[in-house]
Structure 1
Amino acid sequence: MTSHALISPSGAERWFNCPASLWFSKDEPDQSSEYAKEGTTAHALAEYCFNFNKKADSLLGMKTVVNDIDVDEEMAKAVQIYVDTVNGIKSSMSDVLVFDVEQKLDFSELLDISTNINTMNTDYKPEKSFGTADVVLLCDGELQVHDLKYGKGVRVSAENNKQLLIYALAAYYYYSLGCEINRISVHIHQPRLNHYSDFTVTPAELFEFGKQLKEKAGIAYNIYLNGPQSDTDFCAGESQCRFCKAAGKCETLANQVAQATEADFENLDDAFVEQVDKLANEALANRFKSIGLIKSWITAVETKVQSELQHGNAVPGFKLVIGRQGNRSWVSEEDAENVLKSFRLKQDEMYTRKLISPTQALKVLKGSDKRIAKLEEIITRSEGKPTVVPESDKRPAISPADDFTDLTQEDN
């Protein structure tokens, strides 16, 4: 598993916006999850496809060396979309000078943390600050940084994305030694959300970000070594709290959630929920803006409580129990098949047949336009559900006169 730097690009949104977060979470245990393992496997699969010019589905059912997660159809499809998109961009360029996959980028010198440390009269030596860019592409005078986000929980924008801008800054200083770079672009790929986002900056704009990066990293490092000096060193927000290991115990976050909901968490009752129906739309809008933050806090509290109980620490009123068992599965399908055959079961008792999906059929018939056209006559696809988004979203708004299902009834 790849080690992580203290001042890391992946955590930039956190320590940029809440400088005390590094100090506050330094004693919290690292928490891995199946989602993180899936992401690591997906990245390893993409690296394999790029380096060996292979299709992702050629590894179906295989396990990569990084962990014990199988490559399934969903992963193969998502990774292939990402690989094809990047390769498509690459093939559209006339002069490709660099195409580096899983490129480790050191940006320690850009932060110059040692200067900040020396002012504190301490012998502490700062760790290296580095990160790994999924793909670095340099062509036609443009430096591109591509990032695969395999998860499908949160849509991520490339616009002013601090993680990718740090990668781009480190990559610029490395590759500009031998190549002229006139523009820089960062790209986020979320194939499981059917989402792609890109953002372009000039070298001058990137340098300006570099100044801000150095300042923010210095502040975060200072607090990490000496502790917070005031409450303003903590700053709760959806982006910085979402993946903070200490969010479940953070009073700043809890207070902000309480303020957003006007809730007294010591004395919640049904009347609190009923109050929402009486709010004016302007008040509703203010609360709706905080939903992401509130969800982050709820997840953080749930995670913290489970962690405490798993470590044998009492949480008054709650306990850990064994949950519902998972679905039954064969230890080995081959062994199961042989055993069932020994029972002289009939074919229709042993096996089930399932018609392939429209997506699979279109893939099988790829290149046969006439047959695809005939097939599409018998394919249906449900319309997307109404979704609340910020006004800055590029999709057109639904007219109140449009006929659509009441949002509150969708999942009933």
Structure 2
Amino acid sequence: METKKHALLSASSSHKWLNHGPIALLEAMVPEEESSEAAEQGTAAHAMAEHFLKLKLNQASVLEDSIYHDEDMERYCQDYANFVVEHKESLGENTLLFIEQRLDFSPYVPEGFGTGDAVLISDKILHLIDFKYGRYYVNPENNTQLLLYALGALNLVDSIYDIEEVRMTIYQPRIGNVSTWTMDTGPILEWANGELKVKAMQAYKGEGNLEYGDWLGMTKIKAISKDRAKHHLELRKYQLREAHLLNDEEMAEVLSHVDDLVRWGKDVKEFAQKQAVENDKHYPGFKLVEGRSSRRYVNVKSVEQRAAEQGIQDIYQHSLLPLTKLESKLGKEKFHDIFGDLITKPLGEPTLVSESDGRPEIVKHDVNADFK
């Protein structure tokens, strides 16, 4: 029997199905999306991290080439390998290290399993280290993905070790986030045998509540969610049937919709166009047409040869590499050493955002107040 590649109730999506039961089955009804560049980069980084960790432990390993491999990734992954080995040594010479270990937490979550990047097991301590290559900050505290991995690891060594303490670390080198959350085993098992089992079974059956939130824009049903549509269609109450204007409170409510409303419109259009192109889907009032295109050379070398034959010169243009590409080419440290004093980062344009946004508010200085 072939092993399923993805669990319906995966650890990585647990923050969704634990709070919104029906989402797992709803997403399962939507075809798999093409892998994004960020996801492929993350996969390449995980492969390199595993490779360097095995080499550090004198284990055989072969790393396949990837277009995403660069000097920064190599440095980050070597640092990760050193970090894991240092923590292994700190727990004692008898500490076990499992690399890319399948972790089965199905006693609590139907068909639940995942993969632990690095799992350290000592006499009394379990230490999970989760390698993240993204730039979006991940907090280990109350992180349900790590808690499910912990349950899988405890299940793995239950008959051999009497684990009392679980350490869960997020290792996120690109933003300098290396943080650990520690829990006693007791509370984890209490949560697993109570709340987790109940909510996991609800999610497995597609039961429970699903409420609108910005999180819907990160799901596979982002374009076809009626809950998302219903939320934004509430704006119809502001249709201007009479000659009056929105007041400040009404304007604030409209503003609260804007960011996700724009994303929703884009998601719907992309989904519908893909259905029309790939599945010959027809939507009333819409049709497929040929989009704009630009002229291009059939063969660059032939153009160069023809130009030389005709005595035409100055057919090339030269420009400085974009800052990020030059930095990637040289590496951050070398780039900073050579060009650091020639780089500036101007203030960004003022942007209106929700008060929940973590960025500091711009405080405008009243020049007239200086003369009072």
Distance 1:200 1:4 in 2: 28
Q: Which residue of 2 aligns with 1:311?
A: 279
Alignment of 1:294-305 (within 5 A): 294=261, 297-298=264-265, 300-305=267-272
Deviations 1:120-164 (A, max 9, x none): xxxxxxxx3211122223458442323333344x44332322222
Identity of aligned residues (%): 26
Unaligned runs of 5+ in 1: 65-69, 114-127, 344-348, 367-371, 404-412
Deviations 1:251-277 (A, max 9, x none): 12222344xxx5129x979x9xx85xx
Q: Which residue of 1 aligns with 2:313?
A: none
Q: Which residue of 2 aligns with 1:255?
A: 230
Shift of 1:166: 0.7
Aligned partner of residue 71 in structure 1, secondary structure: coil
Distance 1:44 1:143 in 2: 23
Whether the 8 Å CA contact 1:102–1:133 is kept in 2: the answer is yes
Would the alpha carbon gap of residues 172 and 305 (structure 1) be closer, same or farther in structure 2, given more than 3 Å must change?
A: same
1:71 partner amino acid: Y
Shift of 1:83: 4.5
Q: Which residue of 2 aligns with 1:144?
A: 127
Whether the 8 Å CA contact 2:45–2:69 is kept in 1: the answer is no
1:94 aligns with 2:66: no
Shift of 1:314: 1.5
- The count of corresponding residues between Structure 1 and Structure 2 is 340
Alignment of 1:12-411 (within 5 A): 12-35=14-37, 36-53=39-56, 63=65, 70-73=67-70, 76-78=71-73, 80-85=75-80, 87-88=82-83, 90-91=85-86, 94-96=90-92, 97-111=95-109, 113=110, 128-138=111-121, 141-152=124-135, 154-210=136-192, 211-223=194-206, 233-239=209-215, 241-258=216-233, 262-264=234-236, 275=246, 278-280=247-249, 284=252, 294=261, 297-298=264-265, 300-309=267-276, 310-320=278-288, 357=327, 360=330, 363=333, 378=341, 380=343, 382=345, 397=360, 400=363
Would the alpha carbon gap of residues 358 and 28 (structure 1) be closer, same or farther in structure 2, given more than 3 Å must change?
A: closer
Aligned partner of residue 10 in structure 1, secondary structure: coil
Aligned partner of residue 133 in structure 2, secondary structure: coil
Shift of 1:172: 2.2
Would the alpha carbon gap of residues 160 and 360 (structure 1) be closer, same or farther in structure 2, given more than 3 Å must change?
A: same
Aligned partner of residue 13 in structure 2, secondary structure: helix
Whether the 8 Å CA contact 1:90–1:137 is kept in 2: the answer is no
Of stretches 205-214 and 320-329 in structure 1, the one that deviates more from structure 2 is 320-329
Deviations 1:296-347 (A, max 9, x none): 6445424422332232111344455666779999x9xxxx8xx99xx9xxxx
Q: Which residue of 1 aligns with 2:370?
A: none
**Higher CA-based Rg:** 2
Would the alpha carbon gap of residues 31 and 398 (structure 1) be closer, same or farther in structure 2, given more than 3 Å must change?
A: closer
Would the alpha carbon gap of residues 378 and 203 (structure 1) be closer, same or farther in structure 2, given more than 3 Å must change?
A: same
Distance 2:65 2:44 in 1: 8
Aligned partner of residue 145 in structure 2, secondary structure: helix
Would the alpha carbon gap of residues 192 and 11 (structure 1) be closer, same or farther in structure 2, given more than 3 Å must change?
A: same
Would the alpha carbon gap of residues 174 and 298 (structure 1) be closer, same or farther in structure 2, given more than 3 Å must change?
A: farther
1:263 partner amino acid: L
2:345 partner amino acid: S
Distance 2:75 2:354 in 1: 29
TM-score normalised to structure 2 length: 0.69
TM-score normalised to structure 1 length: 0.63
